[in-house]
Amino acid sequence: MKKLLLRIAAYALDSILIMLISFLLVQVPLFNPTLKQYNDTYQQFIDQELVYDEFAGDIDKYLEDGHFTSSEIAELKNKYIGYDEVLDKITLEEEVSLENKDKLKKEIEEKHRDVYNDQAYKIQKYNIPSNIISIILLFLYFGVFQFLMHGQTIFKKLFKLRVVSTTKKDIPWWSYLIRVLLVNEVIFLGIDLLSLIFLKESMYLNINYWLSEARYIFEIVMLVVMMMREDGRGLHDLLLNTRVALYDKDGIEVITPVSEESKDKVKELKETPKSNVKKAKSKTRTTKKKNEKDLN
């Protein structure tokens, strides 16, 4: 359990380090030419979400006299950007029934989902350079750097952890790149990025949703496998014939003690042949006595 906790801590701290470096790089217009558009769109998105909660209250306020005026519709359009299509359907100076008011609120709610998705999609589009920078940094740090450091990152080295082979051979460079795809979930980031670049908004939003669900399940499975196995190996370790070793201050690997249950199983397996031999001998004696009795 100690090794597992150290692995999680090292991974978290390494990830934070990469996030900080990525954050600094994306603030440079040279690396992130869409920075201004991203910040403006994101701020607009936040502002719209904050005022949206007041939309239903404004509808009730303007309908206290039972109808909308042209000035009231103009105020709503100015305050709530993106809802012109719904507001243009309102007939001015006409009595609005309770049923029509509820219908209007429902249409506004449906339109809000469209506005929300549209703004989120634009933000993701402007964030493409940032995502590319993050993916490159992940490959460079967890892939190339870890390969050059013989299975260690900065915080793995700090916690005396190292990725080693279970076959006693050197781990090839491509094995570290596959680890990045799985452990750092770059495979999901890459699919999401390609979908964002090449697909239309509606298709991208659907793929993004299911990709998020798959990523959540993947994370749970990875963690459960590591916790259930006594050697702490994850799916990526089993696939690539690797494991993470823990060393003491003298550089000697700390061997995880085997549980009592496992010891009993090993003992049982060792004793099984002897038991079978005893049973065979006993059966032979019985058969021999029976034959002698029949002869007599």
Summarize pLDDT for 59-117 with one digit per residue, the tens: 888 888 888 999 999 999 898 888 898 898 888 888 888 888 888 889 999 998 998 99
Q: Does residue 247 sit in the same domain as residue 149?
A: yes
Q: Are residues 225 and 152 in the same domain?
A: yes
Total structural domains within the chain: 3
109 with 150, same domain?
no
Same domain, 23 and 45: no
Same-domain check for residues 40 and 154:
no
Residues 21 and 139 in one domain: yes
Binning pLDDT at 50, 70 and 90, where does residue 271 land? Answer: low
Evaluate if residue 139 carries a pLDDT over 90.
Answer: yes
Q: pLDDT value at position 225?
A: 92
Q: Which domain holds residue 278?
A: 260-296
On whether the CB atoms of residues 83 and 77 are closer than 8 A, the answer is yes
Residue with tokens 């989120």: 120
Same domain, 180 and 251: yes
Domain boundary pick from 103, 123, 143: 123
Domain boundary (123, 154, 184) is at 123
The dihedral region occupied by 151, where left means phi > 0, alpha psi between -120 and 50, and beta the remainder, is: left
Which residue type, as a one-letter code, is found at position 120?
A
Residues 105 and 42 reside in one and the same domain? yes
Indicate whether 137 and 227 sit together in one domain.
yes
Whether residue 13 is found in the same domain as residue 61: no
Q: Show which of 80, 106, 123 is a domain's final residue.
A: 123
Residue 72's contacts (CB-CB under 8 Å, 6 or more residues apart) are: 62
Considering the domain architecture, whether residues 98 and 16 belong to the same structural domain is answered as: no
Indicate whether 93 and 163 sit together in one domain.
Answer: no
Calpha distance 248→277 (Å, rounded): 44
DSSP annotation of 98 reads H
pLDDT in tens, 177-217: 999 999 999 999 999 999 999 999 999 999 999 999 999 99
Give the side-chain half-sphere CA count within 13 A for 278: 5
Rounded Cα gap, residues 81 and 89, in angstroms? 16
